[in-house]
Structure 1
Amino acid sequence: MVVTNFISLSNASKEAFKTATLLKTLNVNSLITGEDGVGKKSLASYILPNANVVDASDFDASITALNSVSQIIITNLHTSPNLNVLLDSIHSNDVRVIATSKNYLEHEILDDLFSVKFSIPSLSERPEDVRALIDIFSQEASKLFGVETEFNMLNFVPDVSENSASLKRQVMINYLLQDIKDTELMVIIENYLSDKLGSNSDYRNFLYLYEVPLIKVGLSKFKSQLKLSDKLGLNRNTLRKKIADNKKYL
């Protein structure tokens, strides 16, 4: 049984996986395009599970590998320092190549080299896959931190700005912080501030680190500025001013 880390629950990723499964049975070269963190390398490894993997940015390693193997995965084709020579080497060697690239490359022989080309959409277009990845990353976090607490999805808005990279970072941080002690949180803030203090107005400059989370959580919980000002023991005008002062974070 071939195992793959590629998540294929959304319609878009199912189509990409279907194409990859077909490619496992064909002796043709293929180019997989898409943003960083969408699963290109995982899918390439599913197609050629026993192939060496080289990054196109390492030109010497790529050329050496093309002269010594029968099949290869070349990642980040768009970063090659000498694409012409690399593509010529692929063309002249009898090597099965699955390549990945952040975007489609305009080149006169590229279409001839890669008879199958397909793209993997970003995670912003694959909500079903995002949910599955959150489960996977939270399980990894549980093992890493030695904590069995269930991941708290309350008010969690997935950050897929960098696809799986930003999502994994976000899940790890949230998992770590959901049971954090106040003393541990203060140490984190101390470390953050340690090399940033130095001006004559630092108290005012960094007060937002406390005020913004308090206001955001308060507004989410109490649903109105009036109730929040009462709970915080602040005058309504004072709260409004603080909201206005921190509007770029709220």
Structure 2
Amino acid sequence: MQDYIAQDEISKEILNSAKLLQAVNVHALIIGSPGVGKKSLASYILPSSKIYNAKSLQQDIHDEIINIQDDAIIIDKIDEITNIDLLLNWINTNSIRIIAISHNDMLNQKLKDIFSINLEVPDLYKRDLDTKALIHKFSIEASQTLDMQMISSSKLITNTTNNTHSLRKSIYFSYLFETIGEEEILMFLEKYLGENLGEENAYKNLLYLFEVPLIKASTKKYKSQVQVAKHLGLNRITLRKKLETHKELL
């Protein structure tokens, strides 16, 4: 059984619904962005069930090479099913219970109608307590995997733009960052730049790789634009131009 982190109130409500679904034999749909914990929640409901990719399952049903009866399964990316009647007929004929996963609820109405319960899992930026718990979990995981002492939370880089996918990656990067110095940073940057050099205007097009993190770090440390400009050795007009240029990345 996978762990589903439930520290925020909304997550506790979802978990209560999941516990109900463990006891009742109905179809359910779990909706949410990538990385919010849909598979973990589905596996919490059906801990012994296999997870099937929707497209692959549809092909196996069509080719008549799947033999399941009177069982419960998890279907990932059910929004990618194209032959709705084929799937529904297979489910009904073989008495299959499904817990389905989708990035959205834009499903064919025939398919939507089979679900008795819909659970929508919010993004991590709406779940502060869950995020803190996940940071701690991934920090322990990274420490054990990399055989390192746990580092303080103040040194952790946390990126939740892609929910747990980006959060786990950023925590691991935080640990790896502790082991590298200026020489390694320059080496990685040189490799990246070398692979992304264009035919023209390379300096202008790649300068953001230096400017964006420098401005973000300075803004975080010094807060006001006056102090940022002072410590970067820029006049405020130049700083404002750079802030405008890079506003989508800052």
**Which of the five TM-score ranges fits, normalised by the shorter chain?**
0.7 to 0.9
Q: What is the alpha-carbon distance in structure 2 between the residues aligned to residue 216 and residue 163 of structure 1?
A: 21
Aligned residues: 243
Query: Which one is further off, 202-211 or 18-27?
Result: 202-211
Does 1:216 find its partner at 2:213?
no
> Are the equivalent residues in 2 in contact too, given 1:32–1:100 (CA < 8 A)?
yes
Q: CA deviation at 1:188?
A: 1.0
Q: What is the alpha-carbon distance in structure 1 between the residues aligned to residue 51 and residue 60 of structure 2?
A: 10
> Are the equivalent residues in 1 in contact too, given 2:78–2:100 (CA < 8 A)?
yes
Which structure 2 residue ranges, 5 or more long, are not aligned? none
Partner of 2:6, secondary structure, is coil
Partner of 1:28, secondary structure, is coil
Instruction: Show CA shifts across 1:91-130 (max 9, x none).
Output: 222122222222222423642x332332222222211111
Q: CA deviation at 1:21?
A: 0.9
2:216 aligned partner, one-letter code: K
Partner of 1:37, secondary structure, is coil
> Are the equivalent residues in 2 in contact too, given 1:215–1:243 (CA < 8 A)?
no
Tell me what 1:19 maps to: 17
Partner of 1:60, secondary structure, is helix
Two-structure CA RMSD over aligned residues (Å): 2.8
Tell me what 1:241 maps to: 238
> Are the equivalent residues in 2 in contact too, given 1:6–1:42 (CA < 8 A)?
yes
Instruction: Show CA shifts across 1:183-239 (max 9, x none).
Output: 11011101111122354643444333333333332343334555555555x3x43x7
Closer/same/farther in 2, CA of residues 61 and 164 from structure 1, 3 Å limit: farther
Partner of 1:72, secondary structure, is strand
Q: CA deviation at 1:55?
A: 1.0
> Are the equivalent residues in 1 in contact too, given 2:51–2:74 (CA < 8 A)?
yes
Partner of 2:196, secondary structure, is coil
Q: CA deviation at 1:182?
A: 0.5
Does 1:83 find its partner at 2:80?
no
1:186 aligned partner, one-letter code: L
Percentage of identical aligned residues: 35
Instruction: Show CA shifts across 1:42-93 (max 9, x none).
Output: 1111121111221112122356446456221112111113222112211222
Q: CA deviation at 1:17?
A: 0.8
User: So what's the TM-score if we normalise by structure 2?
Assistant: 0.82
Does 1:132 find its partner at 2:129?
no
Closer/same/farther in 2, CA of residues 226 and 28 from structure 1, 3 Å limit: closer
Q: CA deviation at 1:245?
A: 3.4
Closer/same/farther in 2, CA of residues 229 and 155 from structure 1, 3 Å limit: farther
Q: How does 1:111-150 map to 2 (within 5 A)?
A: 111=113, 113-150=114-151
Which structure 1 residue ranges, 5 or more long, are not aligned? none
Tell me what 1:60 maps to: 59
User: So what's the TM-score if we normalise by structure 1?
Assistant: 0.82
Q: What is the alpha-carbon distance in structure 1 between the residues aligned to residue 99 and residue 8 of structure 2?
A: 23
Q: What is the alpha-carbon distance in structure 2 between the residues aligned to residue 161 and residue 211 of structure 1?
A: 21
Partner of 2:24, secondary structure, is coil
Query: Which one is further off, 147-156 or 70-79?
Result: 147-156
Q: What is the alpha-carbon distance in structure 2 between the residues aligned to residue 78 and residue 99 of structure 1?
A: 9
Tell me what 1:161 maps to: 161
1:192 aligned partner, one-letter code: Y
1:197 aligned partner, one-letter code: L
> Are the equivalent residues in 1 in contact too, given 2:32–2:38 (CA < 8 A)?
yes
Q: What is the alpha-carbon distance in structure 1 between the residues aligned to residue 205 and residue 98 of structure 2?
A: 54
> Are the equivalent residues in 2 in contact too, given 1:27–1:96 (CA < 8 A)?
yes
Q: CA deviation at 1:169?
A: 2.2
Does 1:107 find its partner at 2:109?
yes
Q: CA deviation at 1:38?
A: 1.7
